């Protein structure tokens, strides 16, 4: 059993905390917003209770919650073996967190970035331990997904990758090895798809329902791209596309203005109750 720090108690962070608590690891879940921590614990309890109903294993929700400690102070992670960072896809926000983690955690601690698009090597440059930094791009909902991208930064050692792989394996997840690049594999493709789908709505070519119907009915996808955007978070989609645009300086990653307007309006998808659809 490892002591796993999880930074960020949003949709992804709470899913990561639940996943590794279910695997028997002691979890310290950190967020600067106490309300977010309370919501995360409620979500974890609900998801654990419903796990079997949703096609997952039977989960003892009381046991899971007993393994999760919450707090607002990163100093609680001083003795963590591995820290998984899940804060919003904003470089300045991530930078502040990583610098504080570097100053707080013991020298042996491995840092894992759960990021949609920011290169792992760029995040590792904020630390004095780049060899102990790896990326894991989890998919939502985290407890239900059997695999995740496992990303090696420029300096990441094989030993670090194997330690992180073992952590994933302990939770029943397969790490798919991917080299470091903005967006990795999944979001290099997915974010372009969602962004173009948003443009179709923005330009009046089709409604969100019609766009998703084409992907479900013609391609057999279980979810359309705009349903997926609502699940991930419209704001997260926008920030990820902006990172790709900044990194590659390629106009094909231009963010759709509709994504910007929806983000500004608080239409972030399922987590806010309304996005391309109403929940």
How many other C-beta atoms can be found within 10 angstroms of the C-beta atom of residue 18? Answer: 31
Q: Is 116 a catalytic residue?
A: yes
Choose the catalytic residue: 187, 195, 227, 242.
187
- Check 85, 89, 149, 242 and give the catalytic one: 149
The active-site residue, picked from 137, 182, 195, 242, is 137
| Residue 187 a catalytic site member | yes
Sheet with 133-137: list strands edge to edge.
68-71, 26-30, 3-7, 82-85, 110-113, 133-137, 147-152, 174-179
| Whole-number Å distance between alpha carbons of 159 and 88 | 28
Q: Is 140 one of the annotated active-site residues of the chain? A: no
**Mapping DSSP to helix (H, G, I), strand (E, B) and coil, where does residue 127 land?**
coil
**Location of structure tokens 């791209």:** 225
240 is catalytic: no
2, 116, 182, 240: the catalytic one is: 116
Gap between the Cα atoms of 159 and 125, Å rounded? 19
3-state class (DSSP) for residue 179: strand
Q: Which residues pair with 6 in a beta bridge?
A: 29, 84
DSSP summary character for residue 111: E
**Which residues have CB under 8 Å from 259's CB, separation 6+?**
195, 198, 234, 237, 238, 241
Active-site residue numbers?
116, 137, 149, 187
């Amino acid at each position: 059993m490892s002591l796993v720090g999880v930074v960020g108690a949003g949709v992804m962070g709470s899913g990561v905390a639940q996943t590794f608590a279910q695997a028997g690891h002691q979890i310290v879940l950190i967020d600067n917003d106490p309300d977010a921590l309370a919501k995360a614990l409620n979500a974890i309890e609900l998801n654990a209770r419903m796990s079997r109903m949703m096609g997952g294993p039977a989960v003892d929700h009381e046991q899971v919650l007993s393994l999760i400690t919450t707090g607002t102070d990163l100093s609680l992670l001083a003795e963590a073996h591995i820290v998984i960072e899940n804060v919003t896809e904003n470089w300045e926000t991530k930078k502040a967190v990583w610098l504080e983690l570097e100053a707080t955690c013991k020298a042996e601690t491995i840092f894992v970035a759960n990021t949609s698009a920011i290169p792992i090597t760029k995040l590792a440059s904020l630390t004095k331990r780049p060899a102990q930094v790896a990326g894991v791009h989890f998919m939502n909902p985290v407890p239900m997904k059997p695999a995740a991208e496992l990303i090696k930064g420029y300096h990441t050692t094989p030993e670090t990758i194997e330690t992180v792989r073992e952590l994933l394996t302990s939770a029943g997840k397969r790490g798919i090895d991917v080299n470091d690049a903005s967006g990795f594999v999944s979001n290099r493709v997915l974010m372009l798809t969602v962004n173009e789908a948003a443009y179709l709505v923005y330009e009046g070519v089709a409604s969100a329902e019609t766009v998703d119907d084409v992907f479900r009915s013609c391609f057999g996808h279980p979810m359309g791209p705009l349903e997926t955007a609502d699940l991930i978070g419209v704001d997260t989609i926008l920030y990820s596309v902006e990172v790709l645009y900044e990194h590659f300086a390629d106009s094909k990653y231009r963010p759709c203005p509709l994504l910007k307007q929806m983000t500004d309006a608080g239409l972030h998808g399922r987590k806010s109750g309304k996005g391309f659809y109403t929940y």
